[in-house]
Structure 1
Amino acid sequence: MEQFPIPAPPHDGASRLLQPGSAFDWFRQGWAIFAVNPAVWIAMMVIVIVIYVGLAVIPVIGYLAAYLLTPLLAAGMLLACRKAAIGESLEIGDLFSGFRRDTGALMTLGVFYMLAMLLLFVLVFLLLGGGIAGGLALANPLGAGIALGGIAVAGFVWLLLSLLIVMAVWFAPALVVFSHMPAAAALKASFHACMKNLVSFLVYGLLTMVLCFFAALPLGLGFLVLGPVLAGSVYASYRDTFITA
């Protein structure tokens, strides 16, 4: 016998096809989310910066830990965005919500992100080192060309594969905490949605680069505002991209 109310079916990761201009609306919504409580958002961003700067000074382990923690901190920011969007009061502790719910799936995302970036680093290092070593071994103009070619190939591989990895991770924390998808399914759905709306996300990426340039001008203090706005824009893009129950 059916139990009532009947629970909603699990989200299957279906996504919409968006217009490129959607990116502008995501930033407008991100700003509106930030404007709900700027003080709390800035405090959370300060904590995030301190965490990543602290990890950056630890050789190798800190580099890997930063990727491992990113989905958990991203989930906290996204959950805070939802609270702001529905009119609930924000707390600085919301930043760590990912450590209190769906933690296993978020950690799985972190492990994937960490290992993927580590393997990419090793691959690029081998390509770069091989090209330079081959060029130096020839010790002539052709060798210089080989070395420069190796650097160019390594740079292209880094750009392409890192973009693919980011596409898989981009929406995954949101899909885990809001749609309760398993980590593997969330990665697949995120990648498919980004590929489906590649033009929209290229526009979003260009806008982000421009905003980062201006945020960096006042001694980087602009990132205290831009960080929460970007989090809000990711939340808005998730709501716009995915068909949820």
Structure 2
Amino acid sequence: MKLKNFTKYTVAFLSAIALGTVALTTAASADETYTVKSGDTLSEIEYNFKKDSNYQQLAKDNNIANANLIYVGQQLLIKTDSDNSAASTKQTQATQSANTANTQSNQNVQSTQSSQNTQSYKSVASTQQKAAAKTQSTSTSSSASYTGSNLKSYVLSQMSSRTNVPASTWNAIIQRESNWQPSVRNSSSGAYGLFQNMHISGGSVQQQVDAAVSLYKVQGMGAWALN
């Protein structure tokens, strides 16, 4: 009787140790054990535990040759996805880092482009302002260069630069035609002004110069009986 009790308690003690070992092992590995019930299939068990359909891996983990054949009471080891989760976390972190780097790179490119566009705009604006200032200065110089007291120098400068004919030649023509009188009119021919141009009947000194240049481009020096 005592021997039976001793054996009974010994078996219980060993069983408790074994269960404790299993529990510790389960806790350490975070795996689970499932007992197959009537109507169970590997695909259903896989989905219930992991929410996926990879029951072939479940069969492989439990050395089941035929994934369609399991027995009631059969113990199945359900491995956790801790490793997969860690890998997935690392992949997610890597993706986030890559996205952050791409965002930063795009921001840098946009900033550089914006800076270049701003500099280009400023350069174009500066060039346009300089051109406008030069045009205004030239216009002001042209309109203010003739004051009435420098008639001769102004007209000769305009004519020589615009026709490439020496100023001395134009001086001789004007001296002969009008004796440098800008408003003189020939009563017989109707010719008018410094150049005694028969194609105009009036006009300012500048208009007379413009008309003389146009006449020269059409007829050359023959308009004043010179070859």
The answer to whether the superposition gives a TM-score over 0.5 is no
Structure 1 or 2: more helix by fraction:
1
Q: How would you bin the TM-score normalised by the shorter chain?
A: under 0.3
Could you tell me the TM-score, scaled by structure 2's length? 0.23
Structure with greater contact order relative to length (CA < 8 Å, sep ≥ 6): 1
